Amino acid sequence: DAGITQSPRHKVTETGTPVTLRCHQTENHRYMYWYRQDPGHGLRLIHYSYGVKDTDKGEVSDGYSVSRSKTEDFLLTLESATSSQTSVYFCAIKSSRDGQPQHFGDGTRLSIL
């Protein structure tokens, strides 16, 4: 299995609080991604990173920010959580080699009350 660790695995918090999710990899892969998965929507890309300090927006980036200060860590922050951000969040990593697939972590289940 790809060396990806997401933390925390589960979190319950209140509306308006800041939340940070962490994705840690041991593969030294260049590319990292944050997705959310909701019933009826499949997986949707939030943000991705193509190197240290290099990030870009995905299709559902509003309300989220990311940071990547080291190759191995990609942080997703909800500055002021809302109930619509209740979801399962998945991190993925990918090698820069041509055609290689993304590999996913086990996910973080986030509930915002």
Partner 1 sequence: DAKTTQPPSMDCAEGRAANLPCNHSTISGNEYVYWYRQIHSQGPQYIIHGLKNNETNEMASLIITEDRKSSTLILPHATLRDTAVYYCIVRAVNFGNEKLTFGTGTRLTIIP
Report the nearest approach of partner 1 to the CB of residue 68 (Å).
13
Report the nearest approach of partner 1 to the CB of residue 16 (Å).
26
Using CB under 8 A as the criterion, which residues of the chain lie in contact with partner 1 when the complex forms? Answer: 30-31, 33, 35, 42-43, 45, 48, 50, 56, 58-59, 88, 90, 92, 94, 96, 98-99, 101-107, 109
Q: Is the peptide bond before 18 cis (omega within 30 degrees of 0)?
A: no
Report the nearest approach of partner 1 to the CB of residue 94 (Å).
6
Q: Which long-range CB contacts under 8 A does 3-8 form with residues at least 24 apart?
A: 3/27, 4/91, 4/92, 4/93, 4/103, 4/104, 4/105, 4/106, 5/105, 6/89, 6/90, 6/91, 6/105, 6/106, 6/107, 6/108, 7/108, 8/108
> Looking at beta carbons only, is 97 or 113 nearer to partner 1?
97
> Looking at beta carbons only, is 80 or 100 nearer to partner 1?
100
> Looking at beta carbons only, is 18 or 62 nearer to partner 1?
62
Within 10 angstroms of residue 28's Cβ, the number of other Cβ atoms is 10
Report the nearest approach of partner 1 to the CB of residue 80 (Å).
25
